[in-house]
Amino acid sequence: MTDAASPPSQPGLILPPDDPKREVRVANPDGPNMRRVSLGDVGDTYTILVSGQETGGRYSLIDMYVPAGAGPPPHRHDFDETFTILEGEVEFTVRGQAYLVPTGSTVTVPSNAPHYFRNVSGNAARMLCICAPPGLEEFFMAVGVPAGSRIAPPPPKPTKEEEAAYLKWVEPLAAKYRMEIFAP
């Protein structure tokens, strides 16, 4: 503990003034005005709690509802992701190594590390995902289908042909959002 006479922990640190244009954000994932998107190829429904635009480009926060057995294909991107598991048990595979992450735990995936996750709990899982810097939320809004609720069932699973066509369509969009998706 420091007293008033002690120097600051970072000498010369000058904080910018408060920016009153940045508003306090209270986000209820079940609220009626939330942006929600369902990814039929993945099976997940994502609710954008705080967008990068709302944080001045610092981070985004996404509530993820992941049905049993669901999760994205292997991919990587140029931003860090931190997941906190609120319900369920999710297996993350990062750089080829599997990590079983139970309820209450947090896992951070470094930028550019190849990874994917699967809900292995047998019931729906729920997690919060922080992306720093943001952008993933905009990718989801570009490629997903609007969902009516946080736990909306996904659209029907696409056929192999539909999934291949979808991945071909998503590939250039992924690059726009600093991502690379690997064939499942």
Report the chain's terminal Cα–Cα distance, integer Å: 52
pLDDT, residue 8, reads: 54
pTM above 0.85, yes or no: yes
Tokens of 34: 């939330």
Q: What is the pLDDT of residue 61?
A: 98
More confident residue, 4 or 169: 169
Q: Max alpha carbon distance in the chain (Å)?
A: 69
Higher per-residue pLDDT: 52 or 6: 52
Residue 83 has pLDDT above 60, yes or no: yes
pLDDT of residue 156: 76
The per-residue pLDDT for range 120-171, each reduced to its tens digit, is 999 999 999 999 999 999 999 999 989 999 998 777 777 888 888 888 888 8
CB 83 within 8 A of CB 128: yes
> Across residues 67-92, what is the average pLDDT?
95
Give the model's pLDDT for residue 9. 67
Q: What is the pLDDT of residues 22-75, one digit of tens each?
A: 889 999 999 999 999 998 777 899 999 999 999 999 999 999 999 999 999 999
Q: Summarize the confidence of residues 110-126 as an average pLDDT.
A: 96
In this model, does residue 5 exceed pLDDT 90? no
The answer to whether 71 touches 41, Cβ cutoff 8 Å, is no
Contact yes or no for 53/141 (Cβ under 8 A): no
Q: Which CATH class is domain 35-148+170-178?
A: mainly beta
Q: How confident is the model at residue 1 (pLDDT cuts 50, 70, 90)?
A: very low
Per-residue pLDDT at 184: 62
- Give CA–CA dist 158/42, Å, rounded: 10
